[in-house]
Amino acid sequence: MRCCLILILCVYSSASIGELRIEVTQGLDKPVHVAVVPFNWRGWGSGADTLTDVVNSDLRLSGRFKTTPVEQMLSRPHKSKDVLYRDWRLLKVEYLVVGEIRRDGDNLEVTYELHNIVTKTREHKETIVGARDELRDMGHHVSDIVFEKLTGIEGAFATRIMYVTALGSIEDRTFRLNIADADGHRVETVLETKEPILSPAWAPDGNRVAYVSFEEDSKPAIYIQDLEARSRRMVTNFRGLNGAPAFSPDGTKLALVLSKSGNPDIWTYDLRTRDMLKVTRHYGIDTEPSWSADGKSIVFTSNRGGSPQIYQMRLRDLNVERLTFEGDYNARASVLSDGSGLVMVHRRNDIYHISLLDLKRGRLSVLTQTSLDECPSIAPNGSMLVYATQHAGQGILAAVSIDGGVKFNLPSSEGDVREPAWSPKKRKVFTPIFK
């Protein structure tokens, strides 16, 4: 048995490893004009600039907002009583974010306010408390609340993105499974190996991930890794294909692809009892399963009709229904949380794009104009999706809003990037303390 070199099995963190940066390529034609005043710091030490930069960057890089440079601000208030609405109207600012940070021992208390400049009213105020090393998380929380107040959509700045980076030449390649904040910062490497890593997937609790690795004699096996306990276990390593793991919405099962009985079929694996159930039985290839939000059905790719298309299986009776009919290639589908549509890879004019199929109207919309697009993953708020593509001969991640109006690239500081998966929940949730 040839041993594979596994360099890392525990999670470690480094800002220099595979960090992503956001490059907005298309924003809204009329973005909302927001000003984020530098937060005031009370107490010894510093840190206000970090939180202010996080909020300002989150809003600006979302593609939905225009932010005001600090040097253009006519005043720098920190509380309601200091806000002069006239100053901000002169700058054509529509909304204003002000606040301050108070250090209390090892904790930080952040108080912030959102003001509507047009109506001259304060629309929101809250105070949150966190540890000193949670300053970036607190900044993402402020961004999420501001985003939700101004768009009606829950923010996703406090979430994370998992992805695979390939470094080095084809003959001597290293693969890393990384996790970063949604803004590309605080990269954590979960696994580093000389063998490929495929199909990373999040558990609903955000604490476990599943993936395919080829560490056992260069054969595929499915692993589950606990990010908090820094431990992992092998789930399957049957003869043939072991691939495409997907957690059920309640986190108790995996849908996966196995070929141990012949053709690749979809199976379910109970993580508590370890019972397995073969749910598709067809001479064609069935692969790439994903769950409906209610956990009652599985969507998958199959060539049983002659070309790769999307099908849905109802688990209670194993009834299968074809969902896609436009084009000769549709694959890697995920169902929107409200069940209204599918995000998938669609081939048009021999170019692979990310597309959205409206299941109610039967209308297909192409969301991306890049080529070789693959592996779409939907943000937990359902408003954005991240995918892998090619840019200037390099594999990068990119993101697009569900309506196609906002687009940005997330190139890595090193290597080719592929196989993105957006986390199902936020890294840290803060309970507001209202004053």
The span from the CA of 164 to the CA of 192, in Å, is: 10
Mean residue pLDDT across the chain: 90
pLDDT at 4: 35
Residue 296 amino acid letter: K
Nearest to 81 by CA among 102, 56, 100: 100
DSSP letter (8 states) at residue 221: E
DSSP letter (8 states) at residue 29: S
pLDDT at 27: 78
The span from the CA of 358 to the CA of 342, in Å, is: 7
**150-175 tens-digit pLDDT:** 999 999 999 999 999 999 888 889 99
Q: Position of tokens 């002000």? A: 98
pLDDT at 17: 56
pLDDT at 10: 34
pLDDT at 44: 63
DSSP letter (8 states) at residue 53: H
pTM (predicted TM-score): 0.91
pLDDT at 116: 97
Kind of pairing between the strands at 341-348 and 330-335: antiparallel
Q: What are the angstrom distances between the C-alpha of 121 and each of 14, 80, 94, 116? A: 42, 9, 11, 5
Q: Collapsing DSSP states into helix, strand and coil, what is residue 57?
A: helix
Q: Which region, left, alpha or beta, applies to residue 31 given φ > 0 means left and ψ of -120 to 50 means alpha? A: beta
pLDDT at 77: 95
**Tokens standing for 377?**
């993953």
The span from the CA of 371 to the CA of 71, in Å, is: 40
| CATH domain 31-151 topology | Rossmann fold (3.40.50)
CB atoms within 10 A of CB 174: 15
Instruction: Note the CATH architecture for domain 6-16+159-422.
Output: 6 Propeller (2.120)
The answer to whether 364 and 347 are in contact (CB under 8 A) is no
Low pLDDT (below 70) residues in the chain = 1-18, 44-48, 434-435
pLDDT at 68: 96
Where do the domains of the chain lie? 6-16+159-422, 31-151
pLDDT at 6: 32
**212-235 tens-digit pLDDT:** 999 888 899 999 999 998 899 999
pLDDT at 409: 87
pLDDT at 14: 39
pLDDT at 435: 54
